[in-house]
Amino acid sequence: MNSRERILSAVKQNKPEFQPLPETTRFQSDYPDLVAKFSEILRFIGGTPVLVANYEEAETYIRQTYNDLPSVVSKVPALQHLATTDWDVLDPHQLETVDLAIIQGVIGVAENSAIWVPEERGGHRVLPFICQHLVLLLNTADLVPNMHDAYERLNISESGFGAFIAGPSKTADIEQALVIGAHGARSLSVVLLQNS
Amino acid sequence: MPGIENPFGSKPVTSNMMNHSEAAEVFTEDVDRTTWHDKTLWFVREKRDKAVFQIPEWEALREAGSRIKHNALSNLDEYLLEFEQNAIKNGVKIHWAADGHEHNEIVLQILRETGATQMVKSKSMLTEECHLNDFLIEKGVDVVDTDLGERVVQLAGEPPSHIVMPCIHKKKEEIGELFHEHLGTEKGASDPKYLAEAARQHLREKFLTRRAALTGVNFAIAETGGFVVCTNEGNADMGAHLADVHIASMGIEKIIPKAQHLGVFLRLLARSATGQPITTYSSHFHRPRQGQTMHIIIVDNGRTTQLGRPDFRNSLKCIRCGACMNTCPVYRRSGGHSYHNAVAGPIGSILAPNLDMRKNADLPFASTLCGSCSNVCPVKIDIHDQLYKWRQVLVAEGYVDSTKKQGMKLMASVLSSPKLFRFSGKAGRTMMRLLPYSVSNPLNPWFKQREMPEPPKESFREWYVNRETNK
């Protein structure tokens, strides 16, 4: 018997009597204002929420906030012209010099300000992590109250890789002192495009 | 000297000869540090409470998490097969390891096939349990832990002392000293921001040059064959997305049945761990990226044995949040290293005896049985009941030293005889009053780090009887 068979037969022999799944695994969160809740949580975890009416306002915000950054990747079609080069690289290692990445998120979760970013939205999986600063765009119509609602709407195996991203990277490993900017992006702005 | 790796990797600091209370004694010699450690972990516990109180359905959520895990364990073989089948369909290679050694051999073989002699690693308690670093370093593989806290303990040649905050036992000055020596930071510098930035630069170079990356697994989804890795730093993603080979190591108990169950567990995990509403990154891996190979190693290492112990199998529900450690009055004041096990604290103390009863017989006694661990556990593991039950097993199997046994026997005879009990109480109170030094002396282990209480003038029984007579 190889290890696979040994493990599976030991599990079969030792597992407890069958216990059914609980009937309820989805709970409702009642937030009167999803944008307000999302923004409050995002600020709490070190991110910056920005509410805009259209792409022109989004562009103005990004230009003003990140005007000193020389290398910008934009994966949002409407904001394509903010990119400094076309960044059509084959090797993800080449993204090492990216200062700012602009990516469109799919779903935002009000309870924890997490945004679902599948690999197709960034081109390369590593982009939202390797860039120094990150801007995620999100339609306010794509906000849901909690994680149950998000998973209800997503098919997570549709993408080879996807991540919920909530705030900038951080660590508190040294004496529990919070430091923003661990290995991933040093800052995160979420530009909320009002369309609901 | 920047860039020089510690050749020893992680090694247990506490010798095998030191039991929990002896190791705790070493830790508590530094009173200020003990107080700091205690307060810091309690602060994390308070953050957990604040986060939890914002979720009105928290208790229902815990119940759901607990019952999903019960279901998963009760049907684990089927779910493992379903997971394997779906992962293979996704283009992932699946390996099975009966124990830590087999796991380590599989990792080495994958590295050799890839031609990689260097690897970056994100947090994985399983690889700590298997002593992977020691094994690989001995085989000439350069392993770099990339979680900041894990890098700190790796440079110090120590194992992590906490599953979520690996270097919580270290002061920033000590970390500054380590970084000065290994990363070339300024001597005497101890600002956390400065040190974290130095680690970012140091590890970025590793991410960019390593062809192999190993991550842990927080949840493995049977329904989709995918797995989820949660980090705040982004180190798992930086490693995995830049490497040619991604190895993910998981214990068999990481299985959850369906993708929708992630909703329950991701809501529970970070709130319980650090009081965050969710970790910064919850990364869902399903297929390797183009040109990459992805491996999952499914490890038993004693878990099927634990599954066969009706009193202890529920410990396999653990999602590794660390809440039981942060709340534990013993852990907070004795430090993670005193548990001489990859997973410390209350949960470690019910997992460890399964792996080695003789070596870990002391751990279930490193508890006051106050039950706080069970109260905060997001998946409702009956931790303190299991600690108590392990004590029975360990005594029955003869793993507990005879002085404890003799003491218990004496205690049992006193407690079972009301006459003897009354006499002993009276004698004790008189002794403490007339000859306080008879108990307040270094020979009495209860006097260590404690003030003995003022002896009461009378027992409750005497008070009660007198009260009745004086009516």
At B467, the pLDDT band (50, 70, 90 cuts) reads confident
Which of A22, A109, A175 has its CB closest to that of B171? A175
Which of A111, A112, A126 has its CB closest to that of B242? A126
The 10s digit of each residue's pLDDT in B64-85 is 999 999 999 999 999 999 999 9
- The 8-class DSSP code of residue A76 comes to -
- Whether residue A25 and residue B68 make contact (CB cut-off 8 A), yes or no, is yes
At B418, the pLDDT band (50, 70, 90 cuts) reads confident
The 10s digit of each residue's pLDDT in B50-60 is 999 999 999 99
Q: Nearest CA of chain A to the CA of B64: how many Å?
A: 6
Residue A53 sits at the chain B interface (C-beta within 8 Å):
no
Average pLDDT for consecutive 10-residue bins of chain A (196 residues)?
96 98 96 98 98 97 94 95 84 95 98 98 96 98 98 97 98 96 98 87
Distance CA A177, CA A171 (A): 8
At B17, the pLDDT band (50, 70, 90 cuts) reads low
**What percent of chain B stands above pLDDT 70?**
94
**Please, which residues 85-124 of chain A have a Cβ atom closer than 8 Å to chain B?**
92-93, 96, 109, 111-114, 119, 124
Domain count of chain A?
1
Instruction: Please check the confidence at residue B454 and state whether its pLDDT lies above 90.
Output: no
Beta strands in A26-75, from DSSP E residues, in sequence order:
48-52, 72-74
Residue B88 sits at the chain A interface (C-beta within 8 Å):
no
Instruction: Please check the confidence at residue B3 and state whether its pLDDT lies above 70.
Output: no
Q: Please give the pLDDT value at position B15.
A: 44
Q: Please give the pLDDT value at position B260.
A: 98
CATH number reported for the structural domain that contains residue A152 in this entry: 3.40.50.10420
For residue A112, give its domain range.
Answer: 29-193
Instruction: Please check the confidence at residue B227 and state whether its pLDDT lies above 70.
Output: yes
Q: Which residue of B has its CA nearest to A28?
A: B57
Q: Please give the pLDDT value at position B14.
A: 41
Q: Please give the pLDDT value at position B424.
A: 84
Q: Please give the pLDDT value at position B16.
A: 53
Domain annotation covers residue A123: yes
Q: Please give the pLDDT value at position B428.
A: 81
Q: Which residue of B has its CA nearest to A112?
A: B277
Domain annotation covers residue A120: yes
Question: Is the CB of residue A183 less than 8 Å from the CB of residue B203?
Answer: yes
Residue whose entry in the numeric block shows the structure tokens 């293979």: B88
What is the pTM (predicted TM-score) of this model? 0.92
For the residues B143-154, what does the mean pLDDT come to?
97
Domain annotation covers residue A44: yes
B470, B233, B37: which is closest to A176 by C-alpha?
Answer: B37
Q: Please give the pLDDT value at position A152.
A: 97
Q: Please give the pLDDT value at position B6.
A: 38
Q: Please give the pLDDT value at position B337.
A: 96
Distance CA B65, CA B18 (A): 37
Distance CA A141, CA A108 (A): 9
Q: Please give the pLDDT value at position A196.
A: 55
The bridge status of strand A48-52 relative to strand A72-74 is: unpaired
The 10s digit of each residue's pLDDT in B288-306 is 999 999 999 999 999 999 9
Distance CA B31, CA B34 (A): 5
ipTM of the complex model:
0.98
- Domains, chain B, ranges and CATH? 63-304 (3.40.50.10420), 419-469 (no CATH)
Domain annotation covers residue A1: no
Instruction: Please check the confidence at residue B118 and state whether its pLDDT lies above 90.
Output: yes
At B10, the pLDDT band (50, 70, 90 cuts) reads very low
**Please, which residues 36-65 of chain B have a Cβ atom closer than 8 Å to chain A?**
40, 43-44, 55, 57, 60-61, 63-64
Distance CA B214, CA B92 (A): 14
At B409, the pLDDT band (50, 70, 90 cuts) reads confident
Instruction: Please check the confidence at residue B13 and state whether its pLDDT lies above 80.
Output: no
Residue whose entry in the numeric block shows the structure tokens 């690996």: B166
- Whether residue A129 and residue B278 make contact (CB cut-off 8 A), yes or no, is no
At B427, the pLDDT band (50, 70, 90 cuts) reads confident
Domain annotation covers residue A151: yes
Residue B70 sits at the chain A interface (C-beta within 8 Å):
yes
**Please, which residues 134-193 of chain A have a Cβ atom closer than 8 Å to chain B?**
146-148, 150-152, 156-157, 159-177, 179, 181-185
